[in-house]
Homo-oligomer: A and B are copies of this chain.
Amino acid sequence: MSILVVGSVAFDSVETPFGRVDNVLGGSATYFSTSASFFTDVNLVAVVGDDFPQEHLDFLKSREIDLRGLARDSGKTFHWKGKYGYDLNEAQTLETHLNVFETFKPQIPPAYADSEYLFLANIDPELQMEVLRQVRKPKVIASDTMNFWISSKPDALREVIGRVDILIINEGEARQLTREPNLVKAARQILALGLKTLIIKRGEYGVLMFTDTSVFAAPAYPLEAVFDPTGAGDTFAGGFMGYLANTGDTSEEGVRQAIVFGSVMASFNVEAFSLDRMKTLAYREIEERYRDFKALTHFRGLPHQEGL
């Protein structure tokens, strides 16, 4: 099954304690679709300016990402500039130039309207609603958001959350959305907005998944070299949705596996700046790291005769 993703394609300038890069390929939809492309076909809806180089288009095409939904407007491509300290969990935004993204109105090409898997990356919740009006009846809809929309457009955001199956946000956003410091209580409140599944990202601490009847905890992979966490969340979402779309298995077991595949993809992406690690990644490595995750989290169940 193919996935439709709507989000940003951008240039990023990023500084971490391990180096800096300027005007490299970034954007939520870029990370998402590249990651998902290891598992399934991806249809991308976004906008770039006339400064967007062929080299990046070639890369996305090499991942067999369908670019018919990638609009090109006159003007500059969205540019984000950020910085991380040794605490790589939190980016400090230095500059945001929306550029052509400022007037972005997602147009879903007719060929994409029957997509069964839809990911609404972090954009204005009113635009996310626009997208929902343009697609027919996706089997699974997931969305992301950010602190800015939680404070500036809370009503539109709640409307989106009520329409999607899966919300993928970070820990701070979950607390901000509910004004509830306890994460489990916050999760219950968010689920009550009408979600099937809530996935809470916790950076280097991994992910918690909540449904009405279960909780699943997946660690992040402990890495010796984390160069740049930019895009980790979208790369996670791409691996997660990509695996779901590939298998069509939306059972609890299937969703848990998809979360681990998402975590695997994110763990690779942070090993280098921009999407550089994705450029050399082989599927064999993805499966290897999935097995490493299994070994990382394995412990014996309780025998029936414990003798205690």
Measuring CB to CB, which residues of chain A are less than 8 angstroms from any residue of chain B?
Answer: 17, 39, 86-87, 181-185, 188, 202, 204-206, 208, 214-219, 222-226, 246, 253, 256-257, 259-260, 283, 287, 290-291, 294-302, 306, 308
**Cβ-defined contact, B287 with A306, below 8 A:** yes
**Cβ-defined contact, A299 with B182, below 8 A:** no
**Cβ-defined contact, B181 with A257, below 8 A:** no
Chain B positions within 8 Å of A188 at CB level: 224
**Cβ-defined contact, B299 with A291, below 8 A:** no
**Cβ-defined contact, B296 with A302, below 8 A:** no
Chain B positions within 8 Å of A208 at CB level: 219, 222
**Cβ-defined contact, B291 with A184, below 8 A:** no
CA distance A215 to B225 in the complex (A): 16
**Cβ-defined contact, A302 with B283, below 8 A:** no
Chain B positions within 8 Å of A202 at CB level: 205
Q: A290 — nearest CB in chain B belongs to which residue?
A: B302
In the assembled complex, 27 residue pairs joining A and B whose CB atoms fall closer than 8 Å, in A order, are: A39-B308, A86-B181, A87-B181, A182-B226, A183-B204, A184-B223, A205-B206, A206-B219, A208-B222, A214-B295, A215-B296, A216-B296, A216-B298, A217-B219, A217-B296, A218-B297, A218-B299, A253-B299, A256-B298, A256-B299, A260-B299, A283-B308, A287-B302, A287-B308, A294-B299, A297-B297, A297-B299
CA distance A87 to B205 in the complex (A): 15
Q: A254 — nearest CB in chain B belongs to which residue?
A: B300
Q: A202 — nearest CB in chain B belongs to which residue?
A: B205
Chain B positions within 8 Å of A206 at CB level: 205, 217, 219
Q: A299 — nearest CB in chain B belongs to which residue?
A: B256
CA distance A301 to B292 in the complex (A): 10
Query: Which among B204, B225, B300 is the interface contact of A253 at CB below 8 angstroms?
Result: B300
Q: A286 — nearest CB in chain B belongs to which residue?
A: B308
Chain B positions within 8 Å of A224 at CB level: 182, 184-185, 188
**Cβ-defined contact, A222 with B218, below 8 A:** no
CA distance A67 to B259 in the complex (A): 49
Query: Which among B257, B290, B302 is the interface contact of A291 at CB below 8 angstroms?
Result: B302
CA distance A300 to B298 in the complex (A): 11
**Cβ-defined contact, B297 with A217, below 8 A:** yes
Chain B positions within 8 Å of A308 at CB level: 39, 246, 283, 287
Report A174 CB to chain B, min CB distance, Å: 12
